[in-house]
Structure 1
Amino acid sequence: MARTRDLTIDRDWHMAGLCGTGSHTLVGDDVWIPDSHRLDLPRIAVATSNIATAVTLFAPLWGAARGALDIVVDVLAKRTSPNPAHPTLADSPGARRNLAVAAHKIDTAERRMLGIAAAVDATQPGEVLAAEERARLRMDLIAAVRECRSAMEDLLDLHGSTGLDSSNPLQRYWRDFAVGSRHVQFTSHVVEEDYGVLLLSIDEAPSGML
């Protein structure tokens, strides 16, 4: 079995976000790996539905949006409002309204995410959902991604530029979401094209993402 001391790290993960995912490459020379510790990636890919993979990838991104919301809620009660009529941002009706809208987007994304997970969980072993249903679930997931992305921007606007200071966890949530939500599983134009093809019964096979 490979031991950490037998490996070297190729630090080739140079991304603006998701810096803590441990995605650097581990390199081993002349290291024996027993068959029981090898992943059969083609078999796993066939056994796991794309929608299940996608909703699993989205869950921590939703968590980043929720974390950003928690930070801004805490800040609003302390931050002085640029409008002298309001002592703090929490006293500003406009700021409260913007916070409510951002929170609702994140809540809506959560309901979509849990609905997709429930639909996947309800399938029986070996059962494959109809293409139209998979496309609808994919569209729901893309909507959830957009809702969280929009909410993140709203929250940064509320917090102000100090939210982008490298010591502020808000910017880390923002960067992680920006990178993670560009994963191939969330390619919106492919998902939307698939759904359109199925809605119109066009004689064209949907993409492999379904």
Structure 2
Amino acid sequence: MMTKLVLLLIFAVACGVGPGNLRSRQSSDLEARKIRRIAVVPAAMMRDTPAPKIPFGTPLEPRTSEREAPETLTRFVYLALTSLPNWQIVSESEVREVAQSVPGGTGANRLRQIGEMVYADAVLIGRVQRYRERVGDEWGARSPASVAFVLDLLDVRRGDVIWSASFDETQKSLSENIFAFGDISARGVRWLSADQLAQDGVKKAVGQLHQVIARGP
């Protein structure tokens, strides 16, 4: 038994996870806004660094995981929202159908218009800032996954952002971050993929939002 425990601790030092790096802010009257019906608008990609270029050539194409990151983030947000009670989430198909009929962009006016058309109290939109896949497998990554995104909740009636959360994490070994023990029980002792890291961040952010605006009586 002791041998197994020692081996587990050794492996944990090789592959730990950070505390999540989730930060959020909210309007002082968020609870009073009575947000109950939420629409999830497709996320956007917003690079935190310029795309790498080949000298005298064309820009490198983003990796598949990065190209699909906005759609992936949107799906994770929708699934996290629908898994929790005491609020109503507009169906993905309804939002996408309406969004196609509204001029492009991610400005507040467009988001309000989409929200009004699906009778939502608020619109939630994500912005992907970084989505870098790990190099290697879950038991031995040469380079860890790194994900950063922002979620904004916009009040359809007033047009202002009433809650915002930012998640930014690059997985670290436990030897690099001794505070990583807290996440090991939830994530397991392994190197996560970019999707797994993003989904973990989304669950934490949505769970926090749920505690504020959708608590039961």
Name the TM-score, length of structure 2 as normaliser: 0.24
Q: Which has the larger radius of gyration?
A: 1
Q: Would you tell me which structure has more strand in proportion to its own residues? A: 2
**Taking CA–CA contacts closer than 8 Å with sequence separation of 6 or more, which of the two structures ends up with the larger relative contact order?**
2
